[in-house]
Structure 1
Amino acid sequence: MNTTQEELDWDEIELLVTILSKKILKLPRNFSSITTLSRGGLVPARLLADHLEIKKIYVDKKKISHNSLFVDDIFDTGNTFANVISKIDCTSKVIFVTLLARRGKNTLLNFCMPKKPRVMIMLSFLGIN
């Protein structure tokens, strides 16, 4: 597989979070918390929590409430979401979001920004490559 790399700077990440949070705010529901994973989702989860004024962030939980917004950084293989499904108390009511998703993948995501073709995203949080 021919994979290219693309780097996002902090301003681009914040822009994606702002766009995503506006879409989430249009939903006809509120969230009591955000749930994420320690490998990848912490930074976008924290930024979204600030935008959405959600005070509780749960990391690596064994059970996930459908009242919690599930946040990850990128949807690539789908393995993360497949592993999380069994932890959710009511899968038909949960909302999954991610900042980026690989184009061409069937996703369970409610929202993602934007889809990239065969691109591995390097998040450059501190400007360090």
Structure 2
Amino acid sequence: MSSERYHQHFTVSWDQLHRDVRQLSRELVERNFQGIIAITRGGLIPAALIARELNVRLIDTVCIKSYDRQEQGGLEVLKGVDHDGEGWLLVDDLVDTGKTARAVRDMLPRAHFVTVYAKPEGRPLVDQYLTEVGQNCWIQFPWDMGVAYVEPLADQIRK
């Protein structure tokens, strides 16, 4: 995480993520999707939750590895799919700069592309999202956090 780039922080708890995904699912429930494609790894958990809410059993993945500092923003497709996305719901946790979204949109131009969170630079690449956050906001997802012991306040003060 670059300290110059991110000036705000948004921590998403498991409960908040679940509420947000359920709300996004409410907006999708009237549509019939053949299946769901999760963009790994961030889209796996939202895709699983949406699949449950929409009662969709067919789930696939698109696996992309992005390089930040080593290869100056390059992308490597580790696993794609063999269709254009027609009738499929494409899911990711977040669209940020749009680098990954652009690559996936090129692979699956006919999929309905949703993210739970969207930043302004990437927002035009998705068909639907639930919450917009600032471009300079770092989103801390629950799967990136651990639970740690915190000393009682009285013990912290005495040190």
TM-score, normalising length from structure 2? 0.70
Q: 1:123 aligns with which of 138, 141, 152?
A: 141
The percent of aligned pairs where both chains have the same amino acid is 27
* Counterpart code for 2:140: M
Moved over 4 A (4+): none
Q: Is residue 63–residue 87 contact of structure 1 (8 Å, CA) maintained in 2?
A: no
Q: Is residue 25–residue 53 contact of structure 2 (8 Å, CA) maintained in 1?
A: yes
Q: Is residue 37–residue 88 contact of structure 2 (8 Å, CA) maintained in 1?
A: yes
Aligned residue for 1:95? 112
Aligned residue for 1:40? 42
Deviation for aligned residue 1:105 = 4.4
Quick check: 42-51 or 59-68, which moved more? 59-68
Q: 1:63 aligns with which of 51, 75, 82?
A: 82
Residue correspondences, number: 124
Deviation for aligned residue 1:109 = 1.6
* Counterpart code for 1:7: T
TM-score, normalising length from structure 1? 0.85
Unaligned runs of 5+ in 1: none
Larger RCO (alpha carbons 8 Å, 6+ apart):
1
RMSD between aligned residues:
2.0
Q: Is residue 33–residue 68 contact of structure 1 (8 Å, CA) maintained in 2?
A: yes
Deviation for aligned residue 1:39 = 2.2
Structure with higher Rg: it is: 2
